[in-house]
Amino acid sequence: MSEACEFPRQNATSAEIRQILESSQTVAVVGLSDRPDRASHGVAAYLQSRGYRIIPVNPNVPEVLGERAYPELSAVPDPVDIVNVFRRPEAVPEIVEQAVAKGARTIWMQEGIVHNAAADRARAAGLQVVMSRCLLKEHRAMSVAS
């Protein structure tokens, strides 16, 4: 079965997701578009409005939502709590490697994005992993105060 058709073998529980959302402050959004009609933009704008610091990661834009964009995760100079992935599953392994090197705490793959092998690598390096879940929807559902 190809990685793009996988279902999560293992995923964060609701309690783990709540803990991630309550303990995180900085979210690097990999694949953040500067187009307001894109899901990545809506999710990032929502998180920003709830007090999270957003760091755009997109080599094609200089800035999104008033924040400087970086071409890749490894170029972000600041610590990151959550790496929120809006990229195709085949891009996830490289993002996970950069997240591990960066010392991120969580890899969060948005709805429809699953890569079990990369998730296993992230977990082995001590990161928490959420796959195929929308960060905005989870935050709203839990009414997390940030």
Give CA–CA dist 119/100, Å, rounded: 11
- Which domains does the chain show, CATH number per domain? 3-142 (3.40.50.720)
The distance between the two most distant Cα atoms of the chain, rounded to a whole number of Å, is 41
Match 């929308």 to its residue by tokens. Answer: 134
Q: What is the mean pLDDT of residues 31-39?
A: 97
DSSP string, 2-30: -GGG---SS---HHHHHHHHHH--EEEEE
pLDDT of residue 4: 47
Percent of the chain with pLDDT over 90: 90
pLDDT of residue 34: 96
- Give 1's pLDDT tier (boundaries 50, 70, 90): very low
Q: What is the mean pLDDT of residues 55-79?
A: 97
Residue 126 DSSP class? T
pLDDT at 99 over 90: yes
Provide the pairing of β-strand 67-68 with 63-64.
Answer: antiparallel
pLDDT of residue 5: 57
pLDDT at 2 over 70: no
